[in-house]
Amino acid sequence: MSLFVKVSVLNVAAYRFDMLIRIFVSLMHLVADLLGVYVIFSNTKAVANWRVEHMVILVGVFRIVAGGIRIIIQHAAAL
């Protein structure tokens, strides 16, 4: 697994401009997710009995899983 991570990092770092923008985009993804939750819950109190706390947890779990897939599998598999 560490080899996969290493290959992924090397693959991304090969294109420095893209890597810098990607770091920014990753942060923006998280901000956009939370902003999305804020937009929904500024217009309603609940979504099918889900409150804002539930949605934030869902976003967090999704980001952790998606980030793990990206770091370990996606870039290494793209080689």
Q: Footprint of other proteins on this chain (CB under 8 A)?
A: 15, 17-19, 21-22, 24-25, 28-29, 32, 35-36, 38-40, 42-49
Residue 45 C-beta: closest distance to other proteins, Å = 6
Centroid of chain to Cα 13: 18
Specify the residue, 5 or 40, whose C-beta has the smaller distance to other proteins. 40
Q: How far apart are CA 65 and CA 79, in angstroms?
A: 21
Q: How far apart are CA 20 and CA 30, in angstroms?
A: 16
Residue carrying structure tokens 């901000």: 31
Residue 74 C-beta: closest distance to other proteins, Å = 11
